[in-house]
Amino acid sequence: MFKNTDASTAIQTNLAAIFVSMELSRSTWLITALVPGNGEKMSKYSITAGNIAGLFELFAKLRENGRHRTGQNWPVITIQEAGLDGFWLHRALVKEGVESHIVDAASIATSRKRRRVKTDRVDGEALLRVLLAFKRDEPRVCSMVRNISREEEDRRRIGRERKALMVERVAHVNRIKGLLFSQGVTEYEPLHKDRRERLEELRTGDGEALPRHMKAQIGRELDRLELVMRQIRIIEDERDALIEAQSRHGTKPSAVTMLLGIKGIGAEFANILWSEGLFRHFSNRRQVAAYAGLAPTPWQSGSINREQGVSKAGNPELRTTLIQLSWLWLRHQPDSALTKWFKARVERNGGRMKKTAIVALARKLLVALWKYVSSGVVIEGAIVKTA
C-alpha cells in the first residue's frame, strides 16, 4: 500500500514531533515525513487521493516507528498548501487530534533560477523544511492560512455564486445583442420584461423579419437568460433571509445591520464585506489591509526606493468589492473625511492618477469599516441611513 524511500538530505532539529508534509493532487497524495530517531532523514509515502483512512493508518505506522526507535510517543504535525481541497482535510486531521497547518504557497521562498527543479518530491521536502522553520518561530518564513468555520465557509457561497451568475447573465445579454447587431438591430434590451414581445416585432436594418434560425437561437438564449435571472432572484432571497435572521439575533445590532446603516452600502455589499473578511478577528489595521491584498509593497535596495503598488496577495473577492464600493462612496458620501482626502490627493496630482488614489481609498475605507463593526468607531462625516 505504501511506498517508502529515504531522502539523502538530513535536517537538524530538536523539535519533539513527527513532521509531515502533504502534496495533494487529484489522483495521489505524496506524504513526506521526518520521524525522530530515523537519522533525521526524510521518508516518502504515496497513497491514493482522498484515502483518509489510509492517511491515518500511515500516521499510526509513523508513530509506531518513532516509539520503536526512541521509546517515546510523538505527536504528528502536518502541513499542506492551500488549494482545491479546501478545509475538509484540515478539519478531519484536527478532529483526530493532529496539529494541522495550511500554508499560502505564494508566501514560500523559492529559487530564483530561470530553470529550477520542480517535482512533487522536491516540493514535499521544501514544504517540510518550511514547517520546521515555522515551528522554530523563524520570522517571515511563510504565511499560514487561518481556518474558518464550516458555517462561515458555506455562507461565502451565496455571494460567490451570485457573482458567477451575474457574469453569465452579462454573457447572454451580450451574445443576444451581438446577434441582433449583425442584422442591423440596435434598440433591444434582453433584460426588459417585454423581451419576448419585442423579439416578435423586430425588423432587420433593411426592413425584413428576423431570419428563422437566428430568431430560434435568440429564443434559446432568452431561455437560458431567464433561468439565470430566476436563480439570481433565489440567491438574493436567501441572502436577504440570512441578513434578516442575523439582524434579529441578539440584543445589539449585528455587524451586517451596522453596515447596512451606512448610505451607499446595500445588501450585497454588506453580505460580501462580512462573509469575505470582516467576520474574522484582526489585531491591527495592517492585518486588515493585508488580508484584502491592499497592503503596500515597497521595493528598497541600496539607493532604490520605490512603491510597487498593492500586494494583491489577499482575498480577491473582498478586494474587488472594496474597489467598487470606493467609487460609490465618493458619490453617496461626498462630505465624509475619506472623500475629502481622495479629492485633495487627486487635486495635488493635477487630476491624474485617480485609479491609484481609489485603491488607497479602498484600503482606508476597509480599515474604517473594520473599526466601525468591531469597535463602533463612527466613520468621520459618513451619512447614516434613517430607519
DSSP-assigned letters across all residues of 249-292: SSSSPPHHHHHHTBTT--HHHHHHHIIIIITS--SSHHHHHHHT
Which ranges in the chain are annotated with CATH 3.30.420? 5-135
Cα(295)–Cα(286) distance, integer angstroms: 7
Q: Given this model, what pLDDT does residue 121 score? A: 86
DSSP-assigned letters across all residues of 49-116: TT-HHHHHHHHHHHHHHHHHHHSS---EEEEEE-STTTTHHHHHHHHTT-EEEEE-GGGS-----SS-
Q: Given this model, what pLDDT does residue 9 score? A: 43
CATH-assigned architecture of domain 5-135: 2-Layer Sandwich (3.30)
Cα(346)–Cα(360) distance, integer angstroms: 11
Percent of the chain past pLDDT 70, that is, above it, reads 95
> Comparing C-alpha atoms, which of 192, 229, 174 is closest to residue 201?
192
Mean pLDDT by 10 residues, the chain (387 residues): 46 72 93 84 92 95 91 93 89 94 88 81 90 90 87 91 96 96 93 94 92 95 97 96 80 85 93 93 91 88 85 89 96 95 93 90 96 92 81
CA-CA-CA-CA torsion sign (313, 314, 316, 319): negative
Taking CA atoms, 323 is separated from 125, 269, 270, 378, in Å, by 39, 11, 14, 21
pTM: 0.82
Count of residues in the chain? 387
By the 8 A CB rule, do 19 and 33 touch? Answer: yes
